[in-house]
Amino acid sequence: MAGDVRYQERGVNALALMNAWSIHSEWNFKNKLLLLKAEYHFTTRDINMAAKCYDESIEAAKSHKFIHEEAMTNELAGIFLTELGKRQEAHSYFKQATACYKKWGAPVVARRIAATIGMEFRTELNLTDPSDVGVHVGVEKMLC
């Protein structure tokens, strides 16, 4: 339990620092701040705020052309939704993550996601081979 408090303090400190950086360069740090907020809310079980922050982080990364950060945030949002038992919504985020990773030029990372989620989503992803992850779909908004 003492470790949990220590990690929580580190998280709060990271949020404060990222907030300060975001004030000076929103372009570079907005999506990162929103992702940290999403992860913080996820750990504190504030599900509605976490969902909102994941979506806003994805949109900020997309609008600022940070395709790798858009990919990572989609992947983390997929994990978040999977843990909540929202498989259909998670599926869309994982597919978007793989599409972004492939577009960014990281097919190995896209294959890692396919391998990780392949067993759970095999029928939904229609994968016969883990490298077949290039289908691009739109991101569905999380239902809160």
* Residue-level pLDDT at 119: 67
> How many residues comprise the chain?
144
Q: What's 86's DSSP letter?
A: -
Cα 26 from chain centroid (whole Å): 19
Closest CA to 22 of 7, 38, 34: 34
Question: What does the pLDDT read at residue 94?
Answer: 94
- Triad 131, 133, 135: Cα angle to 5°: 145
Contact by Cβ (8 Å): 97, 113: yes
Domain made up of 2-125: CATH architecture: Alpha Horseshoe (1.25)
Query: Could you state, in order of their start, the residue ranges of all structural domains in the chain?
Result: 2-125
Show the CA angle centred on residue 108, arms to residues 110 and 65, nearest 5°: 55
- Global confidence as pTM: 0.77
Per-residue pLDDT of the chain (144 residues; tens, 9 = 90+): 455 888 888 888 888 888 888 888 888 899 999 999 999 999 999 999 999 999 999 999 999 999 999 999 999 999 999 999 998 899 999 999 999 999 999 999 999 898 877 767 664 544 444 444 333 332 223 222
What percent helix, strand, coil does the chain show, rounded to 5?
Answer: 80, 0, 20
C-alpha angle with apex 62: 38 to 52, nearest 5 degrees?
25
